[in-house]
Structure 1
Amino acid sequence: MTRIPAAPLILGLAGLIPFVWGAATYLSDPLAQWGATYLGPRFIGPYVQLFYGSVILSFMSGVLWGFSTRAEGAQAATGYTLSVIPALWAFFMTGGGPVAAGTNLIFGFTGLLILDYAFWRWGLTPPWWMSLRVLLTAIVVASLCTGVFL
């Protein structure tokens, strides 16, 4: 794994804000009250995490689809097929209440990391891809764990 360029690292870390903010408002009642008052109740606790998590899994499907364009033949077909899994997972698995949805997002992001690894091993991603994805996934999963296990 290699050094992550500044732009993807900064943008990737900025993309963690809704996950970390949701965890912080779950853990801090005064912060949750402030957030509900000034941002609205949809933008605190598990609500922001679950909606944003679904969006990001869908976004990552698009990223993997883009990586698939670098492949040919059977590998391209496999890549395109695998690339839709995160979006479908988000669509079908994020109902049933906040604990079930949060648990399924944890599994979704963990599964996405496995797909990231496959695309990286196939040479379809930048060399630094796994360094970025492991970091971001660890923070996303830790943030989602607050709503599922606490």
Structure 2
Amino acid sequence: MFDDRIPPSALLLGLAGLLPFAWGVVTMWVPGTAELTMGLIGPRFIGPYVGLSYGTVILSFMSGVLWGFATRAEGGVAASGYALSTLPALWAFFMVGGGPVSAAMALIAGFLGLLGLDWLFWNQGLAPAWWMKLRVLLTTGVVLCLLPVTL
């Protein structure tokens, strides 16, 4: 049976994964939170820095997730799946940099491209039935949190 309900643990962990992105926006818009955070744990956990560094890590992590999906295929589908799974990490490595605005734009493009790869793996039956519901939700959250950095 086709069950596209997102497992509660996957949903909770996915939403928790949005917290560093959201915290970056909060510290951009609420100076007191930036000052408090800087005093407690340092400047790389405020403003665009936390979202950009975390986004680079998560985009690379998602390459590993897609690689795992590729293991469920065989032959040419597996080979193309392995190759495609490396794209998000390579994108992050080569494209993220050059200042916060260009880095945020590159990450937004990377996460939108990742959503296309998610769909491809899901459409081939390699990802769980609920995968796209979760990925659309999380990608929307990530993009909305990175957009203020581009302004």
Q: List structure 1 runs of 4+ shifted beyond 6 angstroms.
A: none
5+ long unaligned stretches in structure 2: none
TM-score by length of 2: 0.96
TM-score by length of 1: 0.97
Q: Which residue of 1 aligns with 2:128?
A: 126
Counterpart CA distance in 1 for 2:96 and 2:30 is: 24
Q: Secondary structure at the match of 1:21?
A: helix
How do residues 62-101 of structure 1 correspond to structure 2 at under 5 angstroms? 62-101=64-103
Q: Which residue of 1 aligns with 2:57?
A: 55
How do residues 1-150 of structure 1 correspond to structure 2 at under 5 angstroms? 2-149=4-151
Q: Secondary structure at the match of 1:96?
A: coil
Measured after TM superposition, the shift of residue 27 of structure 1 is 1.3
5+ long unaligned stretches in structure 1: none
Counterpart CA distance in 2 for 1:12 and 1:39 is: 24
Counterpart CA distance in 2 for 1:110 and 1:47 is: 20
Counterpart CA distance in 2 for 1:139 and 1:133 is: 10
Per-residue CA deviations over 1:127-150 (Å, capped at 9, x if unaligned) read 00000000000000000001112x
Number of aligned residue pairs: 149
% of aligned pairs identical?
62
